[in-house]
């Protein structure tokens, strides 16, 4: 009996348990201040699910109560009503068809499961700092060696993103097979320009690489010159897979719906010389190891694209981006240098000289009772930064701003 011993290489989830440990220790030492605590750490939405979504879910639940409208197993790839709505609302003019959209129950699943269709021996590039799921799923899949004392895994190609390079990772000077890009970025809240993405697509096509493009925060883009999809870039249909989610636009973190776009002309040559489309591999994976997203959830997701749904989602985005603007300004008013937060719900703040990420975490907790996320938790290049999330009520954000002014 063999277990997957790659799991044993995983470092214990360090970041969020350590945050919880420090918050608990502070709470125990300061029982009378506990109610002052404001959490700006986690990337979870706080505002109610849009009414249009709830109405659609209610109607779908009612349908399930009548034999004539009852929905059992649906298509594993998702219902046509949702795939069509996505194409008509999100990919106009981008040459994406409904059968290139695979509906799922979440982008965390999709970005992890996608590795099933890739074999052993691929060279993987990730940006640093990065969403930890990309790293951990590659460790589990055996695409790395052991971690060093800084938590960096042998065999991964880390692409540092910092103030010096404007958070634009350098194109690797070696050949890599898979490249994870996330724009607007979690955790830095920064975006990529069209020219930067064109350079990535050119690199991928020249090196037979695949770009795994995570666009979970696409809805937060305010600047019309910032690309929202990798498929806005010519040639991307031959080298990229895109992940999208209803979590952060529609507020679906607890309801669960996402999708993956794989163009049908994205193919790889097998060792037999045969050209194999990644679409056919993912379709087989999806149909064999997944049984479709919940029907009422898919109805709710489709309602995001109704007129009411669009207006309600816009209001949510405006709310969170208003929070981001307030947080940016408050940090700047303290003399801190800030990045992101203009086309993304995260503000990435440089720690004052002489203070590291965890030092800043402790200072914010002790002096302002505000929980932030230390940048080093997202990778070595995140050291010297911290992340403030704008997913919060306006009231809490205004209070955080007042406290920042006071420290």
Those residues with Cβ within 8 angstroms of residue 102's Cβ, 6 or more apart along the chain or in another chain: 77, 78, 110, 259, 260, 261, 262, 282, 283, 286
Closest contact distance (angstroms) between CB of 239 and a second copy is 10
Closest contact distance (angstroms) between CB of 174 and a second copy is 14
Q: Which of 23, 40, 45, 236 binds a second copy (CB under 8 A)?
A: 45
Q: Which of 61, 80, 163, 170 binds a second copy (CB under 8 A)?
A: 61
Q: What binding mask, one character per residue, do residues 12-31 give for a second copy by CB under 8 A, x or -? A: -x------------------
Closest contact distance (angstroms) between CB of 39 and a second copy is 12
Q: Of the listed pieces 59-67, 213-221, 350-358, 369-377, which binds a second copy according to CB under 8 A?
A: 59-67
Q: Rounded CA gap, 177 and 365, in Å?
A: 41
Nearer to a second copy, 201 or 351 (CB): 201
Q: What binding mask, one character per residue, do residues 189-218 give for a second copy by CB under 8 A, x or -? A: -------------------xxx--------
Closest contact distance (angstroms) between CB of 346 and a second copy is 16
Those residues with Cβ within 8 angstroms of residue 171's Cβ, 6 or more apart along the chain or in another chain: 199, 200, 203
Those residues with Cβ within 8 angstroms of residue 61's Cβ, 6 or more apart along the chain or in another chain: 296
Q: Which of 27, 46, 306, 332 binds a second copy (CB under 8 A)?
A: 46
Q: Rounded CA gap, 3 and 23, in Å?
A: 35
Closest contact distance (angstroms) between CB of 354 and a second copy is 35
Token readout for 47 is 């505002």
Nearer to a second copy, 127 or 253 (CB): 253
Binding residues with a second copy: total (CB under 8 A): 81
Q: Rounded CA gap, 242 and 265, in Å?
A: 14
Q: Is the bond preceding 213 in cis, omega lying within 30 degrees of 0?
A: no
- 384 belongs to the binding site for a second copy (CB under 8 A): no
DSSP structural state of residue 1: -
Nearer to a second copy, 56 or 351 (CB): 56
- 292 belongs to the binding site for a second copy (CB under 8 A): yes
Residues 63-122 contacting a second copy, CB under 8 A: 64-67, 70-74, 105-106, 108-109, 112-113, 116-122
Beta bridge partners of 349: 338, 386
Given phi > 0 = left and psi -120 to 50 = alpha, else beta, which region is 155? left
Query: What's the burial of 304, exposed, middle or buried (CB within 10 Å: 0-12/13-18/19+)?
Result: buried
Note whether 133 and 113 are within 8 A (CB).
no
Largest Cα span, the chain: 69
Closest contact distance (angstroms) between CB of 62 and a second copy is 7
Q: What binding mask, one character per residue, do residues 218-257 give for a second copy by CB under 8 A, x or -? A: ---------------------------------x-xxxx-
The helix/strand/coil state of 167 is: coil
Closest contact distance (angstroms) between CB of 329 and a second copy is 24
- Name the helix (H) or strand (E) containing 233: none
- 350 belongs to the binding site for a second copy (CB under 8 A): no
Q: Which of 15, 18, 37, 44 binds a second copy (CB under 8 A)?
A: 44
Q: Which of 288, 315, 394, 405 binds a second copy (CB under 8 A)?
A: 288
Query: What's the burial of 46, exposed, middle or buried (CB within 10 Å: 0-12/13-18/19+)?
Result: middle
Residues 293-312 contacting a second copy, CB under 8 A: 293-297
Q: Is the bond preceding 337 in cis, omega lying within 30 degrees of 0?
A: no
Closest contact distance (angstroms) between CB of 142 and a second copy is 9
Nearer to a second copy, 346 or 385 (CB): 346
Tokens 């030092």, residue?
A: 359
Closest contact distance (angstroms) between CB of 369 and a second copy is 21
């Amino acid at each position: 009996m063999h277990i997957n011993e790659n799991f044993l290489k995983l470092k214990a989830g360090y970041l969020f348990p350590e945050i919880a440990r420090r918050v608990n220790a502070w709470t125990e030492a300061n029982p009378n201040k506990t109610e002052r605590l404001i959490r700006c750490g986690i990337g979870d939405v706080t505002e109610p699910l849009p009414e249009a979504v709830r109405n659609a879910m209610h109607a779908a639940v009612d349908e399930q109560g009548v034999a004539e409208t009852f929905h059992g197993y649906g298509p594993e790839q998702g219902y046509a009503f949702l795939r069509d709505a996505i194409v008509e609302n999100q990919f106009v003019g981008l040459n994406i068809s409904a059968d290139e959209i695979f509906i799922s129950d979440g982008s965390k699943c999709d970005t992890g499961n996608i590795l099933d269709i890739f074999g052993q021996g691929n060279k993987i590039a990730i940006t640093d700092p990065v969403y930890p799921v990309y790293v951990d799923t590659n460790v589990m899949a055996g695409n790395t060696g052991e971690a060093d004392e800084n938590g960096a895994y042998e065999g991964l190609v880390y692409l540092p993103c910092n103030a010096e390079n404007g958070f634009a990772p350098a194109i690797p000077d070696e050949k890599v097979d898979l490249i994870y890009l996330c724009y607007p970025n979690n955790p830095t809240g920064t975006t990529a320009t069209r020219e930067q993405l064109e350079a990535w697509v050119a690199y991928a096509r020249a090196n037979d690489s695949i770009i795994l493009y995570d666009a979970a925060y696409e809805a937060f883009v305010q600047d019309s010159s910032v690309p929202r999809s990798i498929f806005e870039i010519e040639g991307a249909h031959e080298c990229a897979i895109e992940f999208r989610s209803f979590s952060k636009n529609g507020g679906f973190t607890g309801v669960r719906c996402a999708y993956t776009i794989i163009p049908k002309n994205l193919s790889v040559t097998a060792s037999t010389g045969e050209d194999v489309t990644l679409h056919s591999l993912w379709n087989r994976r999806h149909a064999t190891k997944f049984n479709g997203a919940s029907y009422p959830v898919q109805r709710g997701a489709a309602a995001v694209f109704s007129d009411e749904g669009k207006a309600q989602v816009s209001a949510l985005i405006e709310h969170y981006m208003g929070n981001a603007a307030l947080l940016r300004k408050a940090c700047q008013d303290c003399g801190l240098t800030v990045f992101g937060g203009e086309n993304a719900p995260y503000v990435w703040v440089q720690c004052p000289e002489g203070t590291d990420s965890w030092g800043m975490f402790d200072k914010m907790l002790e002096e302002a009772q505000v929980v932030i996320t230390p940048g080093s938790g997202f990778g070595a290049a995140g050291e010297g930064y911290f992340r403030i999330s704008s997913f919060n009520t306006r009231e809490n954000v205004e209070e955080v701003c007042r406290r920042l002014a006071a420290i």
